[in-house]
Each structure stands twice: as structure tokens, then as C-alpha cells.
């Protein structure tokens, strides 16, 4: 639909980008999936799992809401970390609306204060709203006190209290976003829910299963790439993926005894991929050791990150 399609009796179409920003594990990916109504972002108990800026698209009457799920903002140490933080701030700068997510039970941390300081310049030209997530973990009195404290320190245009996991408060947030976005033609087809290529979505699904299965530092020292995608005559897809790990010892852990671990990961990823695609999928996984993959520009391109932004 375009602006020309509207009449005096129908409201104009609205569209724009909504940047979700906050510390790692604040619930940005969960909120994105809740708003879109489909799983388009990786959600795990591990922090810093969102690497690329993932756009999820939701429709609300005449409004098209394009959510940008940025990596969590933290103190970067490695090149990959620095690229993730640069991607997060890039997503915030490009947004028509910025949502700062914080965890109700953690309150105003040192990291949140740092983010608010850097958001000051963005707030001069872009509406910034506060979203207090995981409200089921604290009492109402504490929520009201936290909201007052946050709004004293920053000129938020609105404050919302939600549980992204349970959906509490999300309809009101979504309605406000739909009414606040600028008047504009829709940016994507009405039935599209993400602007990531299926190859990247498939890689994210497999990486989520790896992250859930692995422990300690290994999830942050591996990446998944979809190396080949073949559409079969029977309507199914053959998908070949490579899991890159940084050390030889990690390869054995990912494979597991007798290949048990990689088999379980592949099966879980295939089931979710088939559910997402709505058709059969033949998934084949390989594990390769590339000690310096985190310093290779090609790997960053696959994750949708800028290799240059990781420079000191």
C-alpha cells in the first residue's frame, strides 16, 4: 500500500525503524519475537548472542513496524565485540524510534547509565522511550520508584512496563509505536516478517541450538555459516552449514562422543527450520577449525557486521 492508496476516510500508512537497545540479555530478542509473532531472533540464556542487526517486521493496522534488534552494549575487548557494539549504536542512530530496554530486577546499572549518556545526542532528533522489562520479578512499588529515577535522569518520551516473555504490556507498547511512526509508504511487502536472507536465518537457528548446548566460552568462539542451499524438486530444501570453531579441542566438544552432540544439534535445528519454512529441510552440518576466524573479514560479512568497525 502507498500513500496514494489512502482516502480521506482511511488513515495514512505509517512505517519506520524501531531500534531496540540495552545491555546484553535485557530481553531485546524476546521482545522482537513477541512483537513480530514469529521467531526471527536468537533467544538463549547466554548473553551477547545477537550478533547481526536483525530486522523483524510487524503490521498494526495501517502501520508497518520494522524492529532492529541490536547486539547488547557492553565493554568490548575483542574485534568481534567492538563490531557488535558499533552495530548496536549504528542501529540506534538509524532508528525512527529508539526503545531502551532495562531489566526491572537489575534497575539502573552502571551500564545503563553509560548507555543513557550516549543516547543524549540521539534523543535530540529521535524519540527515545524507556521499556522496563521482566516486571514480574519485582513489586509494583519498586517499579514505580525505578521509573521515577530513570525519568529524572533522561527525557524519555514515554515509559512502558512489560514482560516480553509473557506478553504483558506489549499490546500497549505496540499501539503507541504504530501511532508514533512517521507517515510513510510501507517499506516491505505486507507478508514479510524479516529482511534477513533465509541462509542467515538458518545459520542463526543452528547457532542458537549450539549456544543452548555448549557451555562457558565456546558459544562466543564459534560461528555458523550456510555454505550451500539447494531447492529440491519435491519442494524441500537441502541446506549445508559449516560450524567454525577457534580451537581443535572445541571441535571434539561440538561433535560429542560418537557424534552424539552434533547429531542432536542438527536435529533440533532442522525441526525449527522446517517449522519456520513450512516445508521439509535436509540439514547437513560440518565442523571446521579456523583459529583466527574472529579476525577474518569474510566471517564478519556473513554475520552482517562491519570488519572495519572492530578496529581499535
Q: Mean pLDDT of successive 10-residue segments in the chain (312 residues)?
A: 56 88 83 81 49 73 84 46 46 74 90 83 86 94 95 94 94 95 88 72 85 64 84 90 86 88 93 84 91 58 50 51
Per-residue confidence (pLDDT) for residue 293, from 0 to 100: 56
Q: What is the CATH number of the domain that holds 99?
A: 3.40.50.300
> What pLDDT does 151 receive?
95
Query: Is residue 193 included in any domain, yes or no?
Result: no
Please tell me whether residues 51 and 176 are part of one structural domain. yes
Residue 148 confidence (pLDDT): 95
Residue ending a domain, among 150, 180, 210, is 180
Report the C-alpha gap between 11 and 217 in whole angstroms: 51
Asked whether residue 224 is domain-assigned, the answer is yes
Query: What is the C-alpha to C-alpha distance for residues 186 and 142, in angstroms, rounded to an integer?
Result: 40
pTM for this predicted structure:
0.62
Domain that holds residue 27: 3-180
Domain boundary among 180, 211, 241: 180
Amino acid at each position: 500500500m502507498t500513500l496514494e492508496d489512502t482516502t480521506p476516510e482511511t488513515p495514512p500508512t505509517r512505517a519506520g525503524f524501531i531500534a531496540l537497545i540495552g545491555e546484553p540479555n535485557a530481553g531485546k530478542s524476546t521482545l522482537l519475537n513477541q512483537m513480530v509473532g514469529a521467531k526471527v531472533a536468537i533467544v538463549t540464556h547466554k548473553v551477547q548472542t545477537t550478533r547481526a542487526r536483525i530486522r523483524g517486521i510487524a503490521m498494526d493496522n495501517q502501520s508497518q513496524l520494522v524492529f532492529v534488534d541490536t547486539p547488547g552494549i557492553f565493554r568490548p575487548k575483542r574485534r568481534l565485540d567492538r563490531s557488535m557494539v558499533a552495530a548496536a549504536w549504528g542501529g540506534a542512530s538509524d532508528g525512527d524510534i529508539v526503545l531502551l530496554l532495562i531489566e526491572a530486577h537489575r534497575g539502573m546499572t552502571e551500564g545503563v547509565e553509560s548507555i543513557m549518556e550516549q543516547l543524549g545526542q540521539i534523543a535530540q532528533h529521535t524519540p527515545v522511550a524507556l521499556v522496563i522489562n521482566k516486571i514480574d520479578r519485582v513489586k509494583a512499588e519498586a517499579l514505580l520508584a525505578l521509573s521515577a529515577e530513570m525519568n529524572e535522569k533522561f527525557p524519555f518520551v514515554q515509559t512502558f512496563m512489560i514482560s516480553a516473555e509473557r506478553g504483558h504490556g506489549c499490546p500497549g507498547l505496540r499501539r503507541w509505536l504504530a501511532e508514533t511512526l512517521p507517515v510513510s509508504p510501507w517499506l516491505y511487502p505486507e507478508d514479510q516478517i524479516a529482511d534477513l536472507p533465509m541462509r542467515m536465518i538458518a545459520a542463526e537457528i543452528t547457532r542458537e541450538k549450539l549456544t543452548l548446548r555448549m557451555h562457558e566460552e565456546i558459544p562466543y568462539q564459534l560461528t555458523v555459516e550456510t555454505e550451500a542451499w539447494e531447492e529440491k524438486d519435491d519442494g524441500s530444501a537441502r541446506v549445508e552449514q559449516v560450524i567454525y570453531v577457534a580451537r581443535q579441542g572445541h571441535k571434539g566438544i561440538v561433535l560429542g562422543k560418537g557424534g552424539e552432540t552434533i547429531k542432536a544439534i542438527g536435529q533440533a535445528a532442522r525441526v525449527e527450520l522446517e517449522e519456520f519454512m513450512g516445508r521439509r529441510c535436509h540439514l547437513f552440518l560440518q565442523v571446521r577449525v579456523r583459529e583466527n576466524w574472529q579476525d577474518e573479514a569474510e566471517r564478519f560479512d556473513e554475520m552482517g557486521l562491519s570488519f572495519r568497525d572492530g578496529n581499535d
